[in-house]
Amino acid sequence: MSDWYPMAVQFMSCVLEGYCLSLLCRNFLSPKTGEGFFREALAGLIWFLVRMAGSYVECGINGTALAVKSLFYWGILFLFCVLYYQGKTVYKLFTAAMFLSLREMAFFAAYSLMGVGTWCMDMLVHVFEKGWVGEGQFLTAVSGIANVSLFCESFTYGLLLYFGILFLIKIMPGGCGKKEGRELLFCMLPAEASLLVGFILRMLMFFTEEGEPKILYQKYPVLYGIVPVVSLVLYASVLFNTWLYQKVCEQKEQEREQEILRNQIVQMQGAMQEMERLYDGIRGVRHDMKNQMLALKGILPKSGESGEELKGFISDMYRSVEQLDYGLHTGNSVCDVVIGSKFAFAKKHVSPVCLNADNFLVDTSWGVRAYDLGIMLNNGLDNAIEAVERMRKAWPKKEAYITVKSYARSGMVFIEIENSFSGSVKFEKGNPLPLSSKEGEGHGMGLRNIRNCAGKYGGAVDCIVQGEKFILSIMMRRKANAQHF
């Protein structure tokens, strides 16, 4: 066999391992030095250099030396991840363990293909001993079989490692996220078992019998079938256990979000019923007081000069009563209160700001419950106010505005909340809703609550970014003649 061929195969294997490692680390970890292609690819480069350097260290037929060499590779990777990447140590150990376990099991699953090459070699030797082929043909065939065996082994190893890493990234798109450390340690058990099996196999791979060095496969040929099966089972268990763990985490997150949403809805229903009652009462009192003060103003001129002071007092009272009216008449008292209170909050915290809800009108034919409208407006306006506040901090002289409007088309009802913002928003791949800028438990619940409410009416939510303008568009199916208010 030519010397360059195994060296070229070894080089390509090291390149593939480095690429797979950098791919995994880029999706699971963040460098302490910041983002960037070179910084994110550094793990793969370091692994490639270490592996290439290790390939020149001859271990011969010493199984202990092979095992120690593997421990050296593992230690270098664990140490690099701990020192170079940010976050909890358990996240770094998890990422490194996933890569190493998939690598080990892919290697031993593919290495057993060498048994086919060994069987072909034995058949060729038998043919040569019978004198059926010449020496030149025999040497050429031996070289060809060795080359093909090495290629098949390396190709199978590369496929298993690459697609295992891709599957791991797919089932955990957010990486370790904010997962519990103890849960990740439990999830790592199949990976730890895989590493242990790989270490033991390397220790026992070579031995001496009657002064002659042998390979474990030669003494127990059945291992050509057992080892790949065990390796593939462990390989699959690493991926399946991670997938199962991710599903459990997603289920827990959904249950937590649903519980928060249920509590919010219950609280919102009670608050809105109270708001409706108070708002109706305030409107009635305001109407009566205005009529009474107008009557008093008509009587005051008859009181002479002494009535001037009383007249001024009543005028002040009249202005105070006028302030009880938000100036909004949307057709729904809950919407009047929610929009009015949010606009009042915006005026106080983001001044000056242009607020407009003149084109927001509610029709009873929509068939949308009042508390659902309240939840959508409440969460949507909260997000708009927060965006305007951040824009005002970044650009103090920039015009700030929030506009709310509604319209119906082709049997659908549209509610749009438009606001100015800083122009910076991040979207998660495959998700039309932007990522929240807030941190902490329950962050990002606002848009999900809006989406859930819209979903009750066969609708959806869309977020549109146009330069420095952000539009939250809520679409719902119109239910004619429905009585939900």
Higher-confidence position of 139 and 335: 335
d(CA 226, CA 137): 34
Given a cut of 80, whether residue 34 has pLDDT beyond it is: no
Instruction: State the amino acid at position 221 in one-letter form.
Output: P
Mean per-residue pLDDT over the chain, rounded: 79
Q: Which residues pair with 407 in a beta bridge?
A: 414
Quick check: 375 and 407 in contact, CB under 8 A? no
Q: Mean per-residue pLDDT for 170-188? A: 79
d(CA 238, CA 145): 33
Kindly report the number of other CB atoms within 10 A of residue 291's CB atom. 10
pLDDT score of 483: 40
Kindly report the number of other CB atoms within 10 A of residue 245's CB atom. 18
Given a cut of 90, whether residue 246 has pLDDT beyond it is: no
Q: Mean per-residue pLDDT for 376-403? A: 88
Given a cut of 60, whether residue 308 has pLDDT beyond it is: yes
Q: Mean per-residue pLDDT for 196-217? A: 78
User: Half-sphere exposure of residue 355, counting CA atoms within 13 Å on the CB side?
Assistant: 22
Kindly report the number of other CB atoms within 10 A of residue 417's CB atom. 24
pLDDT score of 302: 57
Please report the domains of the chain, with CATH numbers, ordered by start residue. 4-260 (no CATH), 327-485 (3.30.565.10)
pLDDT score of 40: 80
pLDDT score of 1: 45
pTM recorded for the entire structure: 0.61
The two tokens of residue 384 are: 């708009």
Quick check: 382 and 474 in contact, CB under 8 A? no
pLDDT score of 440: 44
Q: Mean per-residue pLDDT for 354-363? A: 89
Range of weakest confidence among 17-21, 44-48, 214-218, 357-361: 214-218
Given a cut of 90, whether residue 452 has pLDDT beyond it is: no
Given a cut of 50, whether residue 442 has pLDDT beyond it is: no
Given a cut of 50, whether residue 422 has pLDDT beyond it is: yes
Cβ-count burial 66-93 (b if 16+ within 10 Å, e if not) = bbebbeebbebbbebbeebbebeebbbb
Given a cut of 80, whether residue 266 has pLDDT beyond it is: no
Q: What are phi and psi of 401, to 5 degrees?
A: -155, 155
Q: Mean per-residue pLDDT for 146-172? A: 88
Range of weakest confidence among 159-163, 279-283, 327-331, 451-455: 279-283
pLDDT score of 299: 60
Q: Mean per-residue pLDDT for 149-154? A: 83
Given a cut of 80, whether residue 280 has pLDDT beyond it is: no
pLDDT score of 99: 93
Torsional class of 426: left (φ above 0), alpha (ψ -120 to 50), beta (otherwise): beta
Q: Which residues pair with 475 in a beta bridge?
A: 414, 460
d(CA 196, CA 385): 55
Q: Mean per-residue pLDDT for 113-120? A: 70
Q: What is the pLDDT of residues 286-297, one digit of tens each?
A: 666 666 666 666
pLDDT score of 482: 41
Q: Mean per-residue pLDDT for 326-333? A: 74
- Return all residues near 142 (Cβ < 8 A) that are at least 6 apart: 121, 124
Quick check: 462 and 475 in contact, CB under 8 A? yes
- Return all residues near 190 (Cβ < 8 A) that are at least 6 apart: 101, 234, 237, 238, 241
Closest to 269 (Cα-Cα) out of 369, 380, 371, 378: 371
d(CA 156, CA 164): 12
d(CA 17, CA 3): 22
Q: Mean per-residue pLDDT for 33-54? A: 84
Given a cut of 90, whether residue 236 has pLDDT beyond it is: yes
Range of weakest confidence among 97-106, 267-276, 333-342: 267-276
Given a cut of 80, whether residue 256 has pLDDT beyond it is: no
| Concatenated DSSP letters of 426-478 | -B-TT-SSBPPS--STTTTHHHHHHHHHHHTTT-EEEEEEETTEEEEEEEEE-
Q: How many residues does the chain have?
A: 485
